[in-house]
Structure 1
Amino acid sequence: MLANEKPIAITMGDPSGIGPEIILKALNSAEPLPSCVVIGDLTVIESALAIYQPQMKLNVVAHPREVRHQQGIVNLLVSSQLDKHPRVGQVQGDSGKVAFKAILKAIELAKNGEVAAVVTAPINKESLNLAKVPYPGHTEIFADYGGADDVAMMLLNESIKTVLVTVHCSLRNAIEQADFNAQCRAIELAHNACIQFGIPAPRIAVAGLNPHAGENGLFGDEEKNIITPAIEYAKGKGINVSGPWPGDTVFMQAREGRFDIVVAQYHDQGLIPVKYMGLDEGVNVTLGLPFIRTSPDHGTGFDIAGKGIASPSSLLASIRCAHQLSQNRDTLNQLEESHHEF
């Protein structure tokens, strides 16, 4: 396993889904991993261990510094303790409640600098709603509790990186929310994200909102009145950005190497190209936070929960990505400190 000064926090996700299963499978894989600590419910993790990985041993810790970086050990920082394990494969308020508690604890640790990054297992929006948690997803929770003014969702796999201008809302609302400020924010966050991934001069493509990127106003004027001015503004700040490009071809060009990252206007425009290439290596990154947060590019898997067949591949990719970003961030911070000394 890889040495790491601070562990990566992994939230357990919705306990009625595949989160606990894929976490334990990932931690017991043959792949060398950085030091990790699971944040979650004691009853849930003990039950999952007995079912999925009975050969592994549980190490309950009160603080991340107590983590034992050792194969076959599951380090758990307890954020709740249910009387019994929730029913698997079903939407339940108790599951949403304890999943939310684990997220809040991980955010607290990350903001205090006690973990290197946060990786979140999938949650269920209906379960959160039953628990009276008023958020549609992780991104919005991290935006409110993570200490960031602006956040954006980034999806990536081995071939494509994309940042979304708008996230979880109706298509009608996405059109309204994709204003000049939202465009500028997404472009800047995409630029900064590429820097963190070790791309020193990223080439950013901005997708159009309308078919054929508006066709010079024939199919809509958002490109001419909103997106193009935002691109020009970003260029004035030294960002290498171009567009707006037709949404039906820009991802193909990125995959072929013309662009390093694509700024997509709405949820499905950006996520369909990434997910079409498979969920095994897909990773979700929340940009704009003062710490690193990644997650698998799939949901809670209620249809296969409890069957022991869920794949940890996307979670492993998320852990690798979080580790890479934390290592790069440490390197960038060291370079900045060296620069200030002169």
Structure 2
Amino acid sequence: MKKVALTMGDPFGIGPEIIYYSLKDTIDKISFQPIIIGNPNIYKKLGINPEKWFLDLFVDGFDKTLNSDLGKISLEGGCESFSYLKKSVDLVKSFEIVGIINAPVSKQAISMSQNGFLGHTGYYEDYLSKNQAVMTFFGEYFSLILLSHHIPLKDVSDFLFQSDIEKTSEIALEGFRGLYGREPIIKVLGVNPHAGEAGLISYGEDQRLQRMVSTLESKGFDISGPYPADTLFTGDNLLGTDIVISSYHDQGLIPFKLMHFQTGVSITWGLDIPRMTVDHGTAYDLAGKSKAKYNSMSEVILCMDNYLK
């Protein structure tokens, strides 16, 4: 049976809870074997008494005593969550797993011991990618490709001109072809107001996107744009669209999370294996209060199962 690793994320956030409840919800629906990289002792702090079948899923070696408080950023939480990521890389390189699912981590907590850490995507790109990793999101109403990841807004324009955004898009679209099982319909968002007004409100960014669209269209992708970002998500403009391509983080993720916050799946394409996670953070304020919703993690698990079939 294929094995997929689930990393616990920051143990003092909601990761342990959403992994436990989502696996209880999905374990009889999936065809892969989940293995958990994390510290099972956290459940004592949470007041949860997991069943034996769940505890048997844990990888050995992560059962030290945890001393920090639930719901708070800590050096210990950062070190623990980073060790889970390292172990997942080891399991990929030893060909023991075919996929990775991550519970959320705190970049701030990990950065206390790992200077410059900017998230799962960049970390896995360094160790599990021969080309580049692409941050994308899968949802019921539309899926999303981000051409740039965590960069300041002022750097987006230079990024578009200096990067091979055709390659970035193609890597992600090939992954989505496998997930959808058909040719998806793709629309590209313009960068500037009204998609640049034919160059009147632009330094050439939207024309750069038009060249990308033409290149991908010539390769057989059903792609069009760029479209004004302020109207694509209104009325019937999004009907029939499978994937939206956005040039920067908030432009695409604000509408995506408005429509999919409890159900969205974050997918990194371009790695040696598929990697998926929830579209929310550690939610320290909910940790240990039995208020964390696990819907998104259940969707992630089912999405991974669908992709691997």
Task: Please give the per-residue CA displacement for 1:175-224, whole angstroms capped at 9, x wherever unaligned.
Answer: 32123644212321232122111342222211111111101111113345
After TM superposition, give the deviation of residue 229 of structure 1 in Å: 1.4
Residues in 1 aligned to 2:86 and 2:26: alpha-carbon distance in whole angstroms: 30
Residue in 2 aligned with 1:332? none
1:294 counterpart SS class: strand
CA deviation profile, 1:98-148 (whole Å, cap 9, x unmatched): 111111211222343322311000000110111224221111111111133
2:22 is matched by which residue type in structure 1? A
Amino acid paired to 1:56: E
- Equivalent position to 2:22, from 20, 26, 34: 26
Q: Does residue 53 of the first structure (1) align with residue 35 of the second (2)?
A: no
Paired residue for 1:90? 72
Q: Distance in 1 between matches of 2:245 and 2:48?
A: 40
1:39 corresponds to: 37
Distance 1:278 1:200, change over 3 A: closer
Tell me the equivalent position of 2:273.
291
The corresponding residue for 1:63 is none
Q: Classify 1:321/1:179 alpha carbon distance in 2 versus 1 (closer, same or farther; 3 Å).
A: farther
Q: Conserved in 2, the CA contact under 8 Å of 1:94 and 1:131?
A: no
Instruction: Quote the residue 1:125 is aligned against.
Output: 107
- 1:238 aligned to which of 207, 220, 224: 220
Give the letter aligned to residue 11 of structure 1.
T
Q: Distance in 2 between matches of 1:136 and 1:181?
A: 19
Task: Judge conservation of contact 2:13–2:287 (CA < 8 Å) in 1.
Answer: yes
Indicate the larger mover: 282-291 or 79-88. 79-88
CA distance in structure 2 between the partners assigned to 1:105 and 1:196 by the alignment: 27
Is 184-193 or 163-172 further displaced after alignment? 184-193
Q: Which amino acid aligns with 1:29?
A: D
Shift in CA distance, 82/55, structure 1 to aligned 2, threshold 3 Å:
closer
After alignment, is 285-294 or 213-222 more displaced? 213-222
**Percent identity for Structure 1 against Structure 2:** 30
Aligned amino acid, residue 36 of structure 1: P
Inter-CA distance 50–194: structure 2 relative to 1 (3 Å threshold): same
Q: How many residues align?
A: 307
**Alignment correspondent of 1:314:** 296
Q: Does the 8 Å CA contact 1:15/1:86 hold for their aligned counterparts?
A: no
Task: Give 5+ residue unaligned stretches, structure 1.
Answer: 58-69, 328-342
TM-aligned CA distance change 1:314 to 1:254, over 3 Å: farther
Q: Secondary structure at the match of 2:244?
A: strand
Q: Cα distance 1:22–1:195, how it changes in 2: closer, same or farther (>3 A)?
A: same
Q: Deviations over 1:282-326 (max 9, x none)?
A: 110001112011001100001111212211111111111111111
| Contact 1:190-1:204 within 8 A present in 2 as well | no
Query: Displacement, 1:158?
Result: 1.0
Q: Is residue 39–residue 79 contact of structure 1 (8 Å, CA) maintained in 2?
A: no
Once the two structures are superposed, what CA deviation does each residue of 1:148-167 show, in whole Å capped at 9, x if it has no partner? 31111111221110100011
Distance change >3 Å, CA 229–CA 294, structure 1 → 2: same
**Contact 2:132 2:168 (8 Å CA) reproduced:** no
Structure of greater relative contact order (alpha carbons < 8 Å, 6+ residues apart): 2
Corresponding position: 1:263 with 2:258: no
User: 1:104-119, aligned counterparts within 5 Å?
Assistant: 104-119=86-101
